[in-house]
Amino acid sequence: MNIESLPNSLESYLIVAALLFGLGIYGMLNRRTLIGLLISSELLLSGASLNFMAFSRFLAPDPTTGQIFTLFIMGIAAAEAAIALSIIIAVYRNYRSIDTEDVTELHG
Amino acid sequence: MSSLFTAEGLAGLLFLFIVAVTLLGGLIATNSVRLPRAVSGLALCLSGVAALYYYLNSPFVAAMEMLIYVGAVCVTIVFAIMLADPGAEKRSGRQTALSGVLSFGVAAVLVWGLILLATSTMWPTLPVRVNDGSVKDIGRSLLTTYSFVFELISVVLLLAIIGALTLARAGRNKQ
């Protein structure tokens, strides 16, 4: 595989998307603050969106499908970020902390 | 390497650079201890993803990525960091080096499996396209095939705005 065929092969995009997804999973498991978890979830969502876009560019008969799906993922991600951040601020007002180790009132 | 200075070779080099920037941004976003730096890494990573969307023949989605993710979501996260003021992520007793190794292991196994799947599958060849995926075609699809989903997501966004306002206000009234 030479360098000028890289932007025109499906596999290179899929590998980048898989790496982004793996980074998101790593951050989700390793982070200890709620905002860190939110940042990792954005990485997960962008990995999934990149997969959709790559398949829609290279394999789909109708290339608008993946683009519209990615636009919907963006809308859902924006809504999710707004809700999650307001929950985080409410948690901070009650606990004075956004560390996941401190928010353990329901811990058995 | 003689073909490196043609248009295709330069496009390939730029592609490699963008991929490197994207992954670097992702690494900063997941590994930095301070949260403002993590948000900057996220913005860098999402800008790289927007550039990859350019390579995938969809400048409209790239512009939306810059506008919504880099322009709105990252700025909202910065506002939340300012309001919640978390400082540096503290390392408590239960957070050992083992958990970092374990989460890296889980992520590495997942990435290995996904890359193996992507490279070993025989993808079918490109069928005949019904359109070329331009902005005009996206608009037509949004208002014909996907019009119901389009309306639905506007309702979801409205509910999200009202929910965010209610949650943020409820915490304020309690004090």
To the nearest whole angstrom, how far is the Cα of B59 from the nearest Cα of chain A? Answer: 10
B1-88 carries CATH number 1.20.120.1200: yes
pLDDT at B41: 94
Could you state, in order of their start, the residue ranges of all structural domains in chain B?
A: 1-88, 134-175
How large is the ipTM? 0.90
Q: For residue B3, name the pLDDT band (cuts at 50, 70, 90).
A: low
Tokens of B79: 């506002």
CA A90/CA B166 separation, integer angstroms? 10
Per-chain mean pLDDT for chain B: 86
Read off the pLDDT of residues B119-166 as tens digits, 9 standing for 90 and up: 888 888 777 788 787 889 899 988 998 999 999 999 999 999 999 988
- For residue B6, the chain A residues in CB contact (below 8 A) are 4
List, as one string, the DSSP characters of B56-77. TT-HHHHHHHIIIIIIIIHHHH
More confident residue, A48 or A6: A48
Read off the pLDDT of residues B155-167 as tens digits, 9 standing for 90 and up: 999 999 999 988 8
Ramachandran category for residue B87: left, alpha or beta (phi over 0 → left; psi -120 to 50 → alpha): left
Read off the pLDDT of residues A65-94 as tens digits, 9 standing for 90 and up: 899 999 999 999 999 999 999 988 888 888
With a cut of 60, say whether residue A39 has pLDDT above it.
yes
Helix axes A10-30, B7-31, angle to 10 degrees: 10
> Within the 1-60 window of chain A, which residues sit less than 8 Å (CB to CB) from chain B?
2-7, 10-16, 18-33, 35-36, 38-40, 42-43, 46, 49-50, 53-54, 56-59
pLDDT at B95: 59
List domains and CATH numbers for chain A: 7-95 (1.10.287.3510)
- For residue A89, the chain B residues in CB contact (below 8 A) are 80, 83-84, 167-168, 171
